[in-house]
Structure 1
Amino acid sequence: MNFFTTLKITATAGALALCASFASAATVTQLIHFDDTNNGAKDYTTADGNFFFDPTNFQSSVLCADTTSGGGNGSCLIEGTQGVLPMMTRLTGDGVFSLDSFYFLLTGNGTGASNAITATAFNGAVQTATATFHLGALFPNVTNYSDGAAAGPLAKNTGYIADLTSIAGFKDITKIQFSAATSAQIRLDCIVASFDGTTSEPASGFKHPCGVDEDPPGGVIPVPAGLPLLLSAMGVFGIVRARKRKAA
């Protein structure tokens, strides 16, 4: 085996390894809008089997994020009498994900901190972060669902989007516990999560933050960070072939 044959095998193996790396480490962002479930369901698995929520209390309501008039079927999770919202876990791959954002609405009894929703993140049994949003308080990472503007002090019967991407403890986790007081009557909808894997419902496929009005196909496709390395490896392979032909 001569030098050029060895270099060819090495370059080819490197290119194949990079391709395998892209296939196994592609990060996707999924939007979970709950519009493929029936009212009253007590647990929920996403259509592509990526995420599981338990327990659930699905209802159709004008206070859900995407109502029937907006293009969805109006399904969302409502905290009723169980005193807890669901635990969210990932069923596929390594089970790890990041919680990016979610829709919530406070509509029950109670004021201030007694009318709130809390998201608690875990990596295994270790709690990594918690975020609580309650009536009357101002939160810099919360925007109005209707127009995307920064929210003022949180009000009842108003939809909001909580953005958790700046909180490190919500990245690379294995479960999220959503919770609220039984009197809060929380609406929880349109959860966005990122992970290494595949999804049939990418967040980029929707215009609206909660899944209404799908975008048409097309748009700019981002270049994976490792693509230049793959092209370099393929370039080496091409040089080797050219030199071998010349030597012959």
Structure 2
Amino acid sequence: MNTARRIKLLGSSLLTAALMAFGSPSQAALVTQLIHFDDASNGWKWYSDVDGNFLFNPTNLQSSVQCADSTNGGNGSCVIEGTQGSLPRMTRPATGPQSQGSPNQDPNVSGALAFTLDSFYFLLTGNGTGAQNAISVLGSNGASFTFQLGSNYNALGAPDVTFYDGGGLAGDLVKNTGYVATFGDLFSGVTWIQFSAPTTAQVRLDCVVATFDGTTTQPQSSFGGGCGSSQVPEPGVLVLLAAGLIAVGFASGTRRRRA
């Protein structure tokens, strides 16, 4: 086999592998969605994203400067906890709600599909101190974490807590400051997530990011800054694709010169 043919075959193989890595749009694949609450109305008993992928029930929604930035500019909505004692349970029903929320009735849903909780925004602004002013998250897999006022979260390993503005390590948590908690695979394959807070706390929950097998019109990658962070293909995939294209182009050029 001559050199040009070897290069052509190598380029074709690399290109095929790169395309397979990107996946086919017609097939269900893992997607990462941002749930931002900005299309919610104050007073809704529950909330679902526009695609009906996720349900938050119950909710106490409010538009506030203490929410994360709106996905459309300005200040958006978020879930607020103030003396109720419980934040919403997050699920992904197999049969989802037919609307995004209601002030006077529970959603008609059934079934439970798996997902991974990746991260969320929170802010502490209650009258309590320490554990009295905290937000907790519990998964169906038994994993549980509490983020409380004054505690330090600079330790290595997930969960990671960073400043919402700037992205640096949070250190000792203080009041009226936005943070992002990131979990890696700690909540992988859960069927529900329960958020909660003490009655002495008053917290904000916003910008919940989750990964699941399905489709969404609200991918995290479509929101730059604010709630979402831009996502790009993995560098290894890009290098693989570029190598395949270069090899194919080189082989084509060699063939033309011989002709």
TM-score (norm 1): 0.71
Distance 1:210 1:129 in 2: 25
Please state if 1:204 is matched with 2:252.
Answer: no
Structure 1 equivalent of residue 117 of structure 2: 99
Contact 2:114 2:189 in 1 (8 A): yes
Q: In structure 1, which of residues 147, 151, 155 is the aligned counterpart of residue 166 of structure 2? A: 147
Structure 2 equivalent of residue 6 of structure 1: none
Structure 1 equivalent of residue 35 of structure 2: 32
Contact 2:68 2:75 in 1 (8 A): no
Distance 1:220 1:64 in 2: 26
29 and 135 in structure 1: CA distance in 2 versus 1, 3 angstrom threshold: same
208 and 182 in structure 1: CA distance in 2 versus 1, 3 angstrom threshold: same
Which deviates more, 172-181 or 135-144? 135-144
Shift of 1:91: 2.1
Shift of 1:66: 1.2
Please state if 1:129 is matched with 2:143.
Answer: yes
Q: In structure 1, which of residues 65, 69, 74 is the aligned counterpart of residue 68 of structure 2? A: 65
- Structure 1's consecutive aligned runs of 4 or more residues displaced over 4 angstroms after TM superposition are 21-25, 219-224
Q: In structure 2, which of residues 155, 164, 182 is the aligned counterpart of residue 163 of structure 1? A: 182
Contact 2:135 2:195 in 1 (8 A): yes
Which consecutive unaligned segments of at least 5 residues does structure 2 have?
Answer: 1-19, 96-111, 155-159, 242-259
Contact 1:35 1:72 in 2 (8 A): no
Structure 2 equivalent of residue 231 of structure 1: none
Distance 1:66 1:146 in 2: 10
Structure 2 equivalent of residue 3 of structure 1: none
Contact 1:142 1:160 in 2 (8 A): yes
**2:53 corresponds to which letter in structure 1?**
N
Please state if 1:177 is matched with 2:179.
Answer: no
**2:78 corresponds to which letter in structure 1?**
C
Contact 2:38 2:70 in 1 (8 A): no
Which deviates more, 85-94 or 96-105? 85-94
Question: Paired residues, what number?
Answer: 195
Root-mean-square deviation (Å): 2.7
Shift of 1:87: 0.2
Cα deviations by residue, 1:53-79 (Å, 9 ceiling, x for unpaired) = 0010001111001159x7155200000
Shift of 1:152: 1.4
Structure 2 equivalent of residue 15 of structure 1: none
49 and 107 in structure 1: CA distance in 2 versus 1, 3 angstrom threshold: same
Cα deviations by residue, 1:5-50 (Å, 9 ceiling, x for unpaired) = xxxxxxxxxxxxx9xx965551000000000111121100110000
92 and 72 in structure 1: CA distance in 2 versus 1, 3 angstrom threshold: farther
